[in-house]
Amino acid sequence: MNIQVAYEDVKVDMEIPPLTLETSTRLSVRWAAASGDDDPIHYDQNYAKGQKLPNIIINGRLKIALLSQLITNWMGPQGFLKKLEASLRGMDIVNDPITCKGLVKRKYVENARHLVEIEMWIENKEGKVTAPGSAIVILP
């Protein structure tokens, strides 16, 4: 994240270094504090199971924040995250690791700005995609 990526060095199909988060109830509680979303399905196991969920589920917005981190870690200090999009398709369960991955899909110049489009997603420990998304960054 301290290293600057230059537009000229970016190649289509290049992999973005993955980001893995070991989830936990503690982290879920921290997200509740940071976001104000105090729905107990995100930190109370008994409540979550009472709602017919398999266990505490990881807040979808935390997953989207992690996808933004995947990009800001990669693009370097002079990069600018222009656009972020993600769909929440599947549940991630507490104590399971989640991994954010990405691939460069396109690079182009628009209004003299160097833009890179990235396809990204979150995988659970079985490799199932639970949150597909995309991003556009401006690089020097």
Partner 1 sequence: MSEENVITADMEKQIGNTLNIQITQIDRRAVDQYIAATNDSNPLWQDEDFAIKAGYGGVLVPPGLLVTMQMEGGSPSDYMPAQAHLAGAIDGGGEWVFYRSIRIGDTITAVRKLNDMTEKKGKVGPMILNTIEVTYYNQRSEIVAKSCWRTFRHSTE
Residues that bind partner 1 (CB under 8 A): 1-2, 21, 27, 30-31, 33-37, 39, 60-62, 64-66, 68-69, 72-73, 77-78, 80-88, 131, 133
| Closer residue to partner 1 in complex, CB, 61/107 | 61
Rounded CA-CA distance 15/138 in Å is: 17
- Name the β-bridge partners of 98: 21
Instruction: State in angstroms the smallest separation of the CB of 139 from partner 1.
Output: 14
Instruction: State in angstroms the smallest separation of the CB of 45 from partner 1.
Output: 18
> What is the distance in angstroms between the CA of the first residue and the CA of the last residue of the chain?
15
| Closer residue to partner 1 in complex, CB, 8/37 | 37
| Closer residue to partner 1 in complex, CB, 35/95 | 35
Instruction: State in angstroms the smallest separation of the CB of 108 from partner 1.
Output: 17
**What is the 8-class DSSP label of residue 12?**
T
Which of 135, 114, 81, 110 has its CA nearest to residue 8? 114
| Closer residue to partner 1 in complex, CB, 31/94 | 31
Rounded CA-CA distance 10/118 in Å is: 11
Rounded CA-CA distance 28/61 in Å is: 11
